[in-house]
């Protein structure tokens, strides 16, 4: 069921050529492990003062880390377990079926992706596969995947509510229209990305996924307990300790631009655990319409205004030309 990584990257794995000796390219799974701030959202149901303290903690975590964890988030455990089961079933299909057939009837090249086909050295290899699913296409999923569609619909409805709540809390003090997200972020403009990191015999030499930032406003992430997620914080990589009851929230490029750098979209990557173990994660990417204008209400603005479509097209060009996404640095004034 695994993609043919060794066949695809045979010459790179044989020659063993690294990109550089920069810290950004050093692969270590044993960096100091940190537990990110944990926010208990049950506090929103308590007194006004308790709610305000919770809001303050969310904003502080977003400023200091760009990532934080939430518990009592309102998404039923049954929904989380069901979508993770369906994800595992989908990604455990034979590779030929995943890659050659549009099994989910999606509009974007069948939604299946693997590796990094522009890699020219070991440090540009991504030892992972994913289904990237536009939620506009959910109604097209049927047949033997009816259960998958139903689990996505149930999860998306609850994850969207959580993502919207987080963005509105973070945007309250940023001179952004109170209706901005309601007008620009619709249920069908969001994406679901189902990731799998297969066992890797070269786990100490290649990335699970390359260092990058997310392009969305916020990402609601489900991850298993294997570990491997690392963040670039204060000039060094740190490993994130998984929490069995928490969802991860991280800010994307759009929110960094909208906030005029009050909040940061933190670079992160995945390193592989071992030769035997696979890792799974599931990202709910809270995104706007393609024509949504991203412009900070705070002056002077660090970024020129742009649309979500412009950002995504620029990302595609950068990946094609450099092998990496350069993000909103392309839109600096």
Q: Which residues contact 193 (CB under 8 A, 6 or more apart)?
A: 130, 131, 132, 133, 282, 283, 285
The full DSSP string for 33-75 is EEPPPEEEGGGGGS-HHHHHHHHHHHHHHHHHTSEEEEES-S-
Strand partners, 12: none
> CA 314, CA 179: separation in Å to the nearest integer?
27
User: Where on the phi/psi map is residue 240: left (φ > 0), alpha (ψ -120 to 50), or beta?
Assistant: beta
- β pairing state of 247-251 and 38-40: unpaired
Sign of the Cα torsion 198, 190, 253, 55 reads negative
Q: What angle do CA 305, 193, 266 make, to 5 degrees?
A: 50
* Three-state DSSP class for residue 126: strand
Q: Mention every residue, 6+ apart, whose C-beta is less than 8 A from residue 70.
A: 38, 39, 40, 41, 162, 166, 246, 247, 249
b/e map 170-197, b = 16+ CB within 10 Å: bbeebebeeebbeebbbeebbbbbbbbb
Cα separation, 51 vs 333, in Å, equals 37
Which of these is catalytic: 149, 269, 279, 317? 279
Per the annotation, the verdict on 279 as an active-site residue is yes
List active site positions. Answer: 279
């Amino acid at each position: 069921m695994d993609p043919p990584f060794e066949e695809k990257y045979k010459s790179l794995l044989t020659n063993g050529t690294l990109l550089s000796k920069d810290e950004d390219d050093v692969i270590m799974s044993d960096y100091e492990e940190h537990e990110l701030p944990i926010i208990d959202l049950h506090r929103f149901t308590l007194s006004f003062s308790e709610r305000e303290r919770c809001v303050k903690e969310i904003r502080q975590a977003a400023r200091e880390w760009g990532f934080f964890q939430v518990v009592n988030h309102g998404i039923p455990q049954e929904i989380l377990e069901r979508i993770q089961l369906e994800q595992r079933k989908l990604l455990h299909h034979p590779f030929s079926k995943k890659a050659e057939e549009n099994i989910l009837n999606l509009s974007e090249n069948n939604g299946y992706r693997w590796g990094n086909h522009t890699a020219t050295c070991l440090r540009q290899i991504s030892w992972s596969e994913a289904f990237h699913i536009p939620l506009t296409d959910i109604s097209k999923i049927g047949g033997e995947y009816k259960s998958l569609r139903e689990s996505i619909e149930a999860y998306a409805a609850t994850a969207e509510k959580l993502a919207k709540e987080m963005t509105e809390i973070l945007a309250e003090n940023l001179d952004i229209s109170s209706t901005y997200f309601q007008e620009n972020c619709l249920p069908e403009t969001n994406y679901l990305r189902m990731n799998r990191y297969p066992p890797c015999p070269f786990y100490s030499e290649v990335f699970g996924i390359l260092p990058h930032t997310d392009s969305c406003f916020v990402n609601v992430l489900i991850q298993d307990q294997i570990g491997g997620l690392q963040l670039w914080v204060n000039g060094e990589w740190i490993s994130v300790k998984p929490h069995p009851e928490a969802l991860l929230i991280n800010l994307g490029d759009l929110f960094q631009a909208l906030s005029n750098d009050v909040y940061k979209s933190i670079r992160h990557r995945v390193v592989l655990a071992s030769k035997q173990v696979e890792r799974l994660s599931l990202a709910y990417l809270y995104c706007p319409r393609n024509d949504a204008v991203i412009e900070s209400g705070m002056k002077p603005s660090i970024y020129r205004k742009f649309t979500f479509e412009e950002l995504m097209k620029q990302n595609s060009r950068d990946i094609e030309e450099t092998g990496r996404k350069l993000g909103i640095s392309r839109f600096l004034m």
